[in-house]
Amino acid sequence: MALAEPEMMDGREPAPMEKPQGYWAGVGERLLQDKLTMACFGVLMLLILSAVFAPWLGLADPYKGSMIARLKPIGTEGYPLGTDEQGRDMLARLIYGGRLTLFIGLMPVVFAFFIGSFLGVLAGYVGGLTNTIIMRTIDVFFAFPSVLLAIAISGALGAGIFNSLVSLTIVFIPPITRVAEAVTSGVRSLDYIDAARATGANNWTVIRMHVIGNVLSPIFVYATSLTSVCMILAAGLSFLGIGVRPPEPEWGLMLNTLRSAIYINPWLSALPGMMIFVTSLCLNLLSDGLRSAMNVRD
């Protein structure tokens, strides 16, 4: 900047020096410097990759039990993390368990992000009656604490992976819609939207070119802050017995079935919950890091 000043004084255009850093490049740079966030990102990637590539890791069969090897303590020969109440290898079940747990814990927020953003941007941009109908419907869902709503819908639909995805998606659509609507109505009243409309752009073009880009990052950051709750809730549904069905390995379900063993092998039975805790802690910290890197204020 100091170099450019004398030229400005002449009243001439300063020569283009260097392409200014883009928004996303700045975000990436700030994230890379944030060690805690990067560490959490690393742990999450490790969990996700080990879950995805579980069959190729040379683990024991997570479904194969053994009557004589039940509830072996952590560190037993051949069973590094012990065995569960049916003699199945805990290490294998914990790693395989990441597949369903992470899938059901993260996908509802992804679905709700798309549906909620669509509804919120629609309500915020169109306004009027459309806004009233969408937002008053959303208000009703806020009358339910999220845990209660998830359990109510899952309880009525019955256990199953698909039903859990449906109920959790329904739980997270209202908060995302509310944020999307608030951000969109804020952007809509700005001058550049009027300017774009004055040039003759139709609504679709204005939304696509001018609205989406400006509302998506706050909605995205907000959605990431919901992932940790969603993980805990998803595993909680399985813990209650209205999520994943046995014998599938899933952390919440494992925590539930191992409850009968807390007097025999207490710390072993706490392991699946440890996984849920570590994942949700990393998701929370990652979301916080993302929020500050993207300069989103709440």
Partner 1 sequence: MLSYLIRRLILVLPVAFGVSVICFMLVQIAPGDPLTAIMPIDATAEEQAAMRAAYGLDKPLAVQYAIWIGNLAQGDMGKSIATGRPVAAEVFGAVNNSLLLAASAAVIAFPIGVFLGFLAGYFRDTWIDRAVTAASITGVSLPNYWLGIVLVIIFSVNLGWLPSMGAGPGGSQAWVWNWEHMRHLILPAVTLSVVPIGIVARTVRALAGDILTQDFVQALYAKGMTRMDVLWHVARNAAATALSVMGLQLGYLLGGSILIETVFNWPGSGFLLSNAIFQRDLPLLQGTILVLALLFVAMNLIVDVAQAAIDPRIQRT
Q: Which residues contact 154 (CB under 8 A, 6 or more apart)?
A: 163, 164, 167, 237, 242, 243
227 binds partner 1 (CB under 8 A): no
Q: Which of 3, 9, 67, 140 binds partner 1 (CB under 8 A)?
A: 140
Q: If you write DSSP's letter for every residue of 45-61 in order, what string do you get?
A: HHHHHHHHTGGGTTPPP
Q: Which of residues 74-133 bind partner 1 (CB under 8 A)?
A: none
**CB closer to partner 1, 211 vs 230:** 230
Which amino acid does the sequence have at 224? T
**CB closer to partner 1, 162 vs 204:** 162
242 binds partner 1 (CB under 8 A): yes
> How far is Cα 206 from Cα 192, in angstroms, rounded to an integer?
10
Residue 263 to residues 16, 223, 260: CA-CA distances in angstroms? 72, 39, 8
Give me the 261-280 binding string for partner 1, x by CB under 8 A, dash otherwise.
Answer: -xx--xx-xx--xx-xx--x
Nearest to 36 by CA among 284, 234, 231: 284
Q: What are phi and psi of 201, to 5 degrees?
A: -70, 140
162 binds partner 1 (CB under 8 A): no
73 binds partner 1 (CB under 8 A): no
Q: Are 99 and 48 in contact (CB under 8 A)?
A: no
**CB closer to partner 1, 191 vs 298:** 298
Single out the segment in contact with partner 1 by CB under 8 A; choices: 24-32, 59-67, 96-104, 284-292.
284-292
**CB closer to partner 1, 27 vs 152:** 152
Give me the 183-222 binding string for partner 1, x by CB under 8 A, dash otherwise.
Answer: ----------------------------------------
Which residue do the tokens 């494992």 mark?
254
Q: Which of 121, 151, 187, 215 binds partner 1 (CB under 8 A)?
A: 151
Q: Are 192 and 201 in contact (CB under 8 A)?
A: no
Nearest to 276 by CA among 296, 256, 293: 256
CA dihedral 28, 22, 192, 197 (to 10 degrees): -90
254 binds partner 1 (CB under 8 A): no
Size of the site for partner 1 (CB under 8 A): 44
3-state secondary structure of 34: coil
Site residues (vs partner 1, CB under 8 A)? 136-137, 139-141, 143-148, 151-153, 155-158, 228, 232, 235-236, 239-242, 255, 259, 262-263, 266-267, 269-270, 273-274, 276-277, 280-281, 283-285, 288
